[in-house]
Structure 1
């Protein structure tokens, strides 16, 4: 039988090279997986935030759509004849109006106080001037509220329409 001479140094060197190649490949795969995992986590966070913002926007739109209903209750109640103000039907309407206002309050909707306050263009929309008042009044005070304004979570969702002095 013939003996085969092996070059163990060469074999070992080749194995070391292969080992380094596989080690490098494993590192690249691990880094790629870590990047993919981080991307996925960021996507989850971004998706959750977008969903939250969508719900918030839909909620805001629903509230804005309900504000004219509250206005209509207030306007209707202003025109109830004196002799009918204590009637059960009017009491029921007042209860429904209060219920609507309670729902808005529970959703952090706050009416903007206007009459007697200084005009603020961030909160108020001037729709006229009070009769007999100077055009050059430096401190424009609100003398009449035409339509109530509202804020939702500190953000104006409808400016108050007012008359100023």
Structure 2
């Protein structure tokens, strides 16, 4: 198993490292809480990367994993994904410690990589009444120059903003 950790060098870049034990410090807990957290108290959620082949199928898998017990599903939105990771509805209850395992992650890095992200921004450019075309054009230009974030980069950034969630690939 590997775990994704935030790299302190360039913003929004992540590195993959070998996972050791489940350190409670990754979950943003106080010192007294760290002593009382056991592996049994950490909820495990599993994204099956074989079910993911593009952005819409990523959200299908997120709904399968996170939204089984609620009466609605998430649309394909980075903001909606961030909201479900905050907890309060769906599989995550508040700020509980989560081990998010992402199977077939390497495959999904390609599935949600440059090509998918270019299509994502081009779709936004086709809806100027809904999305800011200048913003979408700028993001598309950055990506085409090799400087912008892929959809996977954006997902990893969102996951990394939640100290109670440890991503394991």
The TM-score normalised by the length of structure 2 is 0.24
Q: Could you say which structure has the larger radius of gyration?
A: 1
TM-score between the two structures when normalised by the length of structure 1: 0.25
